[in-house]
Amino acid sequence: MGAAEHTLLRLATAGSVDDGKSTLVGRLLHDCKAILADQIAHVKTVSEARGGDFDFALLTDGLRAEREQGITIDVAYRYFATDKRSFILADCPGHVQYTRNTVTGASTADVVIILVDARHGVLEQTRRHLAVAGLLRVPHVVLAVNKIDLVGYDEAVYTKIAEDVGEVADQLGIADLQAIPVSALVGDNVVERSAQTPWYDGPTLLELLENAGGRTDTSQQPLRFPVQYVIRPQTDDQYRDYRGYTGTVASGTVTVGDQVIVLPAGRRTSVAGIDRPIVTATSTAVAERPSAVAGEAVTVRLADDIDVARGSVIVAAEASPGTRRELAATVSWLSDRPLTVGARVLIKHTTTSAQAIVTKITGALDLDTLGVIDAAELHLNDIGKVQLKIAAPLAADPYSRNTITGSFLLIDAHDGWTLAAGMIDDEEGELL
């Protein structure tokens, strides 16, 4: 999809506490005229009651505790549109305690905006958030050097921070990094170009977002179709013998007549039909369609009556990933309970859930050196490398090639808590 079409862009913010993320988001929404009269009136009333100026952060910090403490605790999702495109914005917290929420916001983002306070420069949280963006392979990273008004619009300060972050980004393999000097409070270079930064000739934040390429187009990759749910109406009508496999095309294109393999069984067959629903006020039926592409939720019928169930993955016959019961992966550890070797967990990978054992912790990322160091355990917010043995065969790809068949969750079998975000390493076993 080209930028010329009116498309949806998903973005997330990241940065340390008090870097001004909520203020930036409030400013962006306000200056895009995405805030309506009653919301502005509400913020005015609350700001005045507290005896202060209009507080842009109140446009997004919605929880009682957030307003009391002036920090963001959990991701807030905001929706706005310009003439050029629509945006879904995940406003993420910066506190180290809530890094899991930054991972949440960034996992679906096309663009991550990382804020740095111009007075403080690169902090450990900046490195952590850059590492998360690199690890999740977010296509575009924007560095917003905020509070530029508080350093007298000094070009040298901006350049130094941009260079520091650029170095870290290079080490982390972040390909697309763009820096912008902004003041969220005053509005410099957010939507309006600032007269205070004549030395900066790049785009404003909004211009950059309006023109950023979207997610990587995965429709040209090999077909991956994880089966979610089998439809068998067993009614007395034309659908008596209907058997359809529902799912969302994870990558590639599925076309009627395609030769496919159903994993994990490894049975070969072909696509007999692809259905789309026809729903009226009183009736439900399906009509055939010739093909479907990545991102579309469809129903597939197969030529042969073979064993297909939730957890099966229909893949292109000429490019099957095969299956594996052992994985080397990079994980972002999201739990207060540390991960130890021998831990039994649940793994959720596409539509398969299975038991797994952590057989090895290969190392953890040192945020200072960005190198891998030995680690016996992984703790909250650590990024580490592990090996897993799994009780069921998984049709998995490296995350670098397929973010859907390459990602997984680790889940606590006892209480159901999500312990880790996992990304399957490629053959070289690179950390990032």
Partner 1 sequence: MTATVTELDALESESIFVFREVAAEFERPVILFSGGKDSIVMLHLARKAFAPAGVPFTLLHVDTGHNFPEVLAYRDSVVEQLGLRLEVARVEEYLADGRLRERTDGTRNQLQTIPLLDAINGHRFDAVFGGGRRDEERARAKERIFSLRDEFGQWDPRNQRPELWSLYNGKHRPGEHVRVFPLSNWTELDVWNYIEREGIPLPSIYYAHERDVFERDGMLLAVGPYSRPRDGETVAQRTVRYRTVGDMSCTGAVASDATTAAEVVIEVAASEITERGATRADDRASEAAMEDRKREGYF
Instruction: Write the burial class of residue 397 (CB in 10 Å: 0-12 exposed, 13-18 middle, 19+ buried).
Output: buried
296: closest CA among 398, 223, 243, 232? 223
Asked if 416 touches partner 1 (CB under 8 A), the answer is yes
CB of 198 to partner 1, least distance (A): 33
Among 31, 32, 39, 323, binds partner 1 (CB under 8 A): 39
Residues 220-249 that bind partner 1 (CB under 8 A): 228-229, 231-233, 235, 239, 242, 246-248
CB of 284 to partner 1, least distance (A): 5
Q: Which is nearer to partner 1, 222 or 244 (CB)?
A: 244
Residues 74-93 that bind partner 1 (CB under 8 A): 74-79, 81, 83, 86, 88
Residues 172-231 that bind partner 1 (CB under 8 A): 228-229, 231
Residues 391-410 that bind partner 1 (CB under 8 A): 403-404, 407-409
Q: Which is nearer to partner 1, 54 or 239 (CB)?
A: 239
Residues 8-27 that bind partner 1 (CB under 8 A): 8
Residues 282-341 that bind partner 1 (CB under 8 A): 282, 284-286, 295-297, 299, 310, 334
Structure tokens of 83?
A: 């003439």
Asked if 47 touches partner 1 (CB under 8 A), the answer is no
Q: Which is nearer to partner 1, 103 or 206 (CB)?
A: 103
CB of 14 to partner 1, least distance (A): 14
Helix ranges (DSSP H) in 64-179: 64-69, 99-106, 124-135, 155-171
Residue 61 CB neighbours (<10 A): 26
Among 4, 37, 156, 195, binds partner 1 (CB under 8 A): 37
CB of 252 to partner 1, least distance (A): 15
Cβ partners under 8 Å of residue 347, min gap 6 = 353, 354, 355, 356, 388, 390, 394, 408, 409, 410, 411, 422
Task: Specify the amino acid at residue 303.
Answer: A
Q: Which is nearer to partner 1, 235 or 369 (CB)?
A: 235
Size of the site for partner 1 (CB under 8 A): 74
What residues form DSSP beta bridges with 269? Answer: 260
Among 70, 417, 429, 430, binds partner 1 (CB under 8 A): 417
Q: What value does the CA radius of gyration of the chain take, rounded to a whole number of Å?
A: 24
Q: Which is nearer to partner 1, 323 or 418 (CB)?
A: 418
Q: Which is nearer to partner 1, 36 or 156 (CB)?
A: 36
Residue 231 CB neighbours (<10 A): 14
Residues 264-283 that bind partner 1 (CB under 8 A): 275, 277-279, 281-282
> In this structure, what is the dihedral angle of CA atoms 213, 30, 129, 93, given to the nearest 10 degrees?
-140
Q: Which is nearer to partner 1, 186 or 191 (CB)?
A: 191
CB of 232 to partner 1, least distance (A): 7
Residue 63 CB neighbours (<10 A): 13
Q: Count CA atoms closer than 13 A to 415's CA, side-chain side.
A: 5
Q: Which is nearer to partner 1, 147 or 349 (CB)?
A: 349
Residues 350-379 that bind partner 1 (CB under 8 A): 351
Residue recorded with tokens 């079998």: 413
Q: Left, alpha or beta for 150 (phi > 0: left; psi -120 to 50: alpha)?
A: alpha
Whether residue 264 is preceded by a cis peptide bond, meaning omega within 30 degrees of 0, is yes
Residue pair 346/355 in contact by the 8 Å Cβ criterion: yes
Residues 48-67 that bind partner 1 (CB under 8 A): 60, 62-65, 67
